[in-house]
């Protein structure tokens, strides 16, 4: 418990780092990449047949986990522009930093899984779509990293 409190204090001290504009810009970019990821997801759903079925299903499941995790950060970050009280904004920034830490860890694990599953995909169309999806995931992860304060 003391470790969590210490971590919260350390994060609180550095949580002033992201401006509302930086958060807005990152969310705008994440939204565009999320749309691309959604298109790839739909396309891959139709390619989960034959010899690629298991690998593609694993890829789409990984995409779902990634989107769920990154959605938490988006939900928290979208609150920041609505905060009028500086103390409320500070608390949102603190929660954003905590969420980012968790989400970035999940993103790294998901990207490793994605790369592993892609090695089992035989069809060129499915592999190309999985590559687009992975690249969108990387772009989202990098935008999330841009919001993380030291």
Please give the average per-residue pLDDT across 122-145, as a whole number.
Answer: 97
**pLDDT band per the 50, 70, 90 thresholds, residue 150:** confident
Maximum pairwise Cα distance, the chain: 56
**pLDDT band per the 50, 70, 90 thresholds, residue 18:** confident
Rounded Cα–Cα distance for residues 29 and 134 (Å)? 16
Rounded Cα–Cα distance for residues 99 and 130 (Å)? 26
Arithmetic mean of pLDDT over the chain: 88
Q: What is the pLDDT of residue 5?
A: 35
Rounded Cα–Cα distance for residues 84 and 63 (Å)? 35
pLDDT over threshold 70, residue 11: no
Rounded Cα–Cα distance for residues 121 and 124 (Å)? 8
Rounded Cα–Cα distance for residues 86 and 92 (Å)? 10
pLDDT over threshold 60, residue 102: yes
Q: What is the pLDDT of residue 19?
A: 86
Top-confidence residue, 138 or 3: 138
The enclosing domain of 41 has a CATH number of: 1.20.120
Rounded Cα–Cα distance for residues 63 and 137 (Å)? 8
Do residues 59 and 128 make contact, with C-beta atoms less than 8 angstroms apart?
no
Q: Which tokens in the block code for residue 106? A: 């999940």
**pLDDT band per the 50, 70, 90 thresholds, residue 28:** very high
pLDDT, tens digit, for every residue of 48-76? 999 999 999 999 999 999 999 999 999 99
* Closest among 74, 102, 79 to 91, alpha carbons compared: 79
> 7: domain range?
2-147
pLDDT over threshold 80, residue 16: no
* Unique residue bearing structure tokens 């994440």: 30
Question: For the chain, what is the domain count?
Answer: 1
With pLDDT > 70 as the criterion, what percentage of the chain qualifies?
89
Task: Determine the straight-line distance between the first and last CA of the chain, rounded to whole angstroms.
Answer: 22
């Amino acid at each position: 418990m003391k470790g969590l409190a210490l971590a919260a204090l350390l994060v609180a001290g550095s949580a002033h780092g992201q401006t509302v504009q930086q958060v807005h810009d990152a969310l705008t970019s994440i939204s565009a990449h999320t749309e691309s990821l959604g298109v790839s997801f739909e396309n891959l759903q139709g390619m989960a047949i034959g010899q690629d079925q298991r690998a593609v299903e694993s890829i789409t499941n990984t995409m779902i986990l990634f989107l769920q995790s990154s959605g938490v950060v988006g939900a928290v970050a979208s609150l920041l522009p609505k905060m009028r009280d500086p103390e409320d904004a500070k608390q949102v920034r603190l929660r954003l930093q905590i969420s980012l830490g968790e989400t970035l860890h999940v993103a790294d694990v998901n990207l490793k899984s994605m790369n592993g599953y892609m090695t089992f995909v035989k069809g060129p169309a499915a592999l190309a779509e999985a590559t687009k999806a992975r690249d969108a995931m990387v772009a989202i992860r990098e935008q999330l990293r841009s919001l993380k304060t030291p």
